[in-house]
């Protein structure tokens, strides 16, 4: 009897071990890459929790291995190729870093388009679904959102009038933010976020046109003294569109139930999560900066803001004509973007 009991016990243990091994073999590890440090809100408050959620809902059959700060190599501009080619399974990146690759979505980055990040992200997702889906057809798109809008972070020069921008060498993130700064008389300098603080400390640039969300992860608060935003209730100077893209073949290869887990946690819910987090971080970082010694945080006066709006007013038409040269109906895209801006930010118009 004892031998039979031991045999039964061993058989049970072997069965459980085999089942556990089979379950482990079934687990899909998704390589998720992005360009910011791991402590940045993008990972700490959105991507990390998202990975935890899909792991829980799939009973650990879906797991993430996150590679922050370009740990898979390359530059932020190359993330769209890394996910397309399978170097990464999922990336969080800005399409605008890859200038010219995604022209339709770029309309969201025209000046004074969005206000807060939550409604701005809802608007950007709406715009993507109406006007820009085709240019992302090589990817399985999980989210398209927008940051909280850029403000001016400068080391030595406060901006209280339009003339103060002239000659300032500022880091810009996208082609249109660079064009806007150049139109205002500034000197745009393109570089990854991770390089900005050192560039400011060495005098290579005078500051950056960047969202509040990047202030703490990049530590630019340690090298800047002035932080200038738009008047309350008005659209931000310029925004940066951001996307969560998945390798299409990887998504298609998943069993139906695992695809369903991805689907349930993507699209508008993920877009809104990014927007809410961005707004929370914007408010927190503004308060943090205002409490720093010898630091000035203020909004432009309405008069100076309107002068800035007027100075770059031709950018809509110029952009429409530029993309028309590539066979794209730029007028339709600009009108569509501005109509959505009026819909999502009626009080700002």
**CATH number of the domain within which 93 lies:** 3.40.190.170
Tell me: do 322 and 227 sit in the same domain.
Answer: yes
Domain-located, residue 29: yes
Range of the domain at 65: 21-146+241-280
Q: How many domains does the chain have?
A: 2
Tell me: do 306 and 253 sit in the same domain.
Answer: no
Tell me: do 187 and 327 sit in the same domain.
Answer: yes
* pLDDT of 16 strictly over 50: no
Tell me: do 157 and 105 sit in the same domain.
Answer: no
Tell me: do 214 and 308 sit in the same domain.
Answer: yes
Spatial contact of 76 and 99, defined as CB atoms under 8 Å apart: no
* pLDDT of 18 strictly over 90: no
pTM, rounded to two decimals: 0.90
Tell me: do 324 and 186 sit in the same domain.
Answer: yes
Spatial contact of 31 and 85, defined as CB atoms under 8 Å apart: no
Return the pLDDT at 25: 55
Tell me: do 29 and 90 sit in the same domain.
Answer: yes
Strands (E), the chain: 28-33, 62-67, 90-93, 139-146, 150-154, 169-172, 187-190, 207-211, 226-229, 241-247, 296-299
* pLDDT of 119 strictly over 80: yes
Mean pLDDT over 169-182 rounds to 96
* pLDDT of 4 strictly over 70: no
Tell me: do 90 and 123 sit in the same domain.
Answer: yes
Question: Which of 1-5, 6-10, 201-205 is the most confident on average?
Answer: 201-205
Q: Beta strand 139-146 with 241-247: parallel, antiparallel or unpaired?
A: antiparallel
Tell me: do 188 and 211 sit in the same domain.
Answer: yes
171 compared with 11, residue with greater pLDDT: 171
């Amino acid at each position: 009897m004892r031998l039979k009991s031991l045999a039964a016990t061993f058989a049970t243990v072997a069965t459980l071990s085999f089942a556990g091994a089979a379950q482990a073999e079934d687990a899909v590890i998704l390589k998720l890459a992005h360009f910011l440090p791991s402590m940045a809100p993008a990972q700490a408050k959105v991507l990390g929790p998202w990975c935890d959620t899909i792991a829980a809902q799939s009973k650990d059959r879906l797991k993430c291995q996150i590679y922050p700060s370009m740990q898979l190599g390359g530059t932020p501009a190359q993330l769209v190729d890394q996910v397309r080619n399978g170097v990464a399974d999922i990336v969080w990146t800005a399409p605008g870093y890859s200038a010219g690759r995604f022209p339709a979505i770029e309309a969201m980055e025209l000046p004074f388009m969005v206000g807060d990040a939550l409604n701005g992200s809802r608007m950007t997702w709406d715009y993507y679904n109406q006007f820009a889906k085709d240019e992302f057809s090589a990817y399985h798109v999980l989210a398209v959102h927008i940051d909280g809008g850029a403000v001016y972070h400068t080391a030595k020069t406060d901006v209280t009038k339009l003339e103060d921008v002239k000659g300032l060498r500022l880091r810009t993130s996208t082609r249109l933010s660079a064009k806007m700064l150049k139109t205002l008389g500034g000197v745009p300098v393109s570089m990854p976020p991770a390089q900005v603080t050192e560039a400011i400390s060495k005098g290579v640039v005078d500051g950056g046109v960047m969202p509040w969300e990047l202030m703490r992860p990049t530590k630019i608060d340690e090298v800047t003294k002035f932080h200038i935003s738009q008047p309350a209730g008005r659209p931000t100077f310029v925004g940066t569109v951001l996307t969560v893209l998945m390798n299409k073949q990887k998504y298609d290869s998943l069993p139906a139930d695992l695809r369903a887990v991805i689907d349930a946690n993507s699209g508008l819910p993920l877009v809104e999560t990014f927007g809410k987090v961005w707004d929370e971080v914007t408010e927190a970082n503004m308060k943090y900066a205002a409490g720093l010694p010898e630091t000035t945080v203020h909004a432009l006066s309405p008069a100076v803001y309107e002068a800035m709006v007027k100075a770059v007013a031709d950018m809509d038409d110029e952009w429409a004509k530029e993309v028309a040269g590539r066979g794209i109906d730029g007028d339709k895209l600009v009108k569509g973007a501005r109509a959505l801006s009026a819909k999502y930010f009626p009080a700002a118009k």
